[in-house]
Amino acid sequence: MAAMSFLSVIERYHEHESVIHELLDSILLGLSDASIFQNPTSDKVFNELARSYPFVQLLYLLDENGTQVSDNLVVSKGKVKLSDKGRDTDRSHRPYFTGLAEQDSTRYITSPYLSNTGGGLCVSASRQLLNANSQRVIVVVDINLTQLIEFMMGDSARRKMTPIFKAVYSCIVLGLFVLVSVLMWTVVSDIYRLLSEPAQNDPLLPFGIIIFLTLALAIFDLGKTILEEEVLMHKDIFRHSSTRRTITRFISTILIAISIEALLTMFKASLGEKQYIEPAIMMMLAVVGLLVGLGIYVYLGARAEQLLTQNQQQKFNRLS
C-alpha cells in the first residue's frame, strides 16, 4: 500500500487522458475571470476549488510575455494561501506558455512532468483571459497527478487509512517473524542434540528438523509476501493483476511447503514406515491439484483482465 509508482501514474494517465482533460477544462472555465485574482484568499471560487479539488497545488497569472504577475496561490488542506514566491519570474520557456502560442489555442494542458516544487508528477493547465484593462493574461493551474488519479478513481478516502493498514500488517508480519525465530531455535537445538549424542537419537529426528525448517521457510515467505504486497509496494486494487499476483505468491508458498512435506513423508515410508505411503500420495495429489488450479486461475484471470482492458479502451476511444 505504498504510494503509486511513477509507472502506475503514467499508465493511469494515458488510460483516462480524455477524462482528465475534460476535468481540467472545467476547472479552467471556473477561473475564466481574471478579476478574482485581485483578492484570492477571500474569493469563494478559490475556496470552493480548494475544498472540492484537493489535487490542485498551485495557481498563478502570467502576462502576455510569460512573466508571472501574481503571487503563488498555494492550495493546501482545503485552504488557499498566498506565497510571495514566484512573482516577476520569467516563465516564457515553460510548456504551458509556449504550448498556447504553438497551438494558437485558448487553453493548453501539458504532458506529465516532474514538479520543481512538490517533487512528484505534475500536469499544468493554462488558459488565456482578458483582464479588466483588456490585456491578455494567462491563468496557470498546477495539478498533482497522483492525487488527481486517486480522486478520479475514488481512492482518496482509502489512502487516508493507509497508515493504519500498514501498522496492522506490520504487526502481523512481526508476529510471523517471531514464530519463525522460535522454529529456528527449535531447529538449532535439535541439530545440536543430533550432533552431540548421535547414538541416542531417533533415526527420524533429521526428518523432524527438516519439517521445522520447511515450516519456518513457509511462514517466513508468507510474512515476506505480506510485507512486500501490503506495506512496501504499491497495490492497485482497481487492477485484477494485483490481486492475482498476491494470490499466486501465497499459493506458491503453500505449494512449496506441501511438496517438501510430501517428499519427506515418502522418505519416511521408504525407511519402513509403511503407514506414511498413503498420506504421501495424497499430499502429492494435492500438490498437483493446487498447481493445476493455480495455472487455470492465472490464465483465466489474465484473459479476463485483457478483455476488460480492451472494453475500457474502446469505451474511452468512443468518448474521445
Range of the domain at 274: 156-319
**Are 173 and 311 found together in one domain?**
yes
**Are 161 and 305 found together in one domain?**
yes
Give the domain-ending residue among 152, 176, 193.
152
3-state secondary structure of 216: helix
The total of structural domains in the chain comes to: 2
Span 247-279, pLDDT tens digits: 888 888 788 878 877 887 877 777 677 787 888
Span 56-112, pLDDT tens digits: 888 888 888 888 888 888 887 777 787 777 788 888 888 888 888 777 677 888 888
Q: Is the pLDDT of residue 157 over 70?
A: no
Residue 165's alpha-carbon distances to 111, 161, 179, 221, 266, in angstroms, are 33, 6, 21, 20, 42
Question: Widest CA span of the chain, in angstroms?
Answer: 102
* Sequence-separated (6 or more) residues with CB below 8 Å from residue 320: 17, 18
**Are 84 and 147 found together in one domain?**
yes
**Are 208 and 258 found together in one domain?**
yes
Q: Is the pLDDT of residue 203 over 70?
A: no
Poorest-confidence range of 5-9, 55-59, 103-107, 239-243? Answer: 239-243
Average pLDDT across the chain, whole number: 80
End-to-end CA, the chain: 32
Where residue 179 falls among pLDDT bands split at 50, 70, 90? Answer: very high
The predicted model gives 196-207 an average pLDDT of 69
Q: What share of the chain is helix, strand, coil (3-state, %, to 5)?
A: 65, 15, 20
Nearest Cα to Cα of residue 242 among 4, 61, 54, 57: 4
Q: Flag whether 1 is in a domain.
A: no
Q: Is the pLDDT of residue 232 over 90?
A: no
Q: Please give the pLDDT value at position 52.
A: 82
Unique residue bearing C-alpha cell 515467505: 221
Indicate which CATH number applies to the domain containing 136. 3.30.450.20
The predicted model gives 281-308 an average pLDDT of 85
Comparing 254 with 288, the larger pLDDT belongs to 288
Nearest Cα to Cα of residue 8 among 224, 299, 243, 242: 242
Interatomic CA distance for residues 224 and 20, integer angstroms: 37
pTM of the model: 0.61
Contact 148, 89 (CB under 8 A): no
Unique residue bearing C-alpha cell 482518496: 156
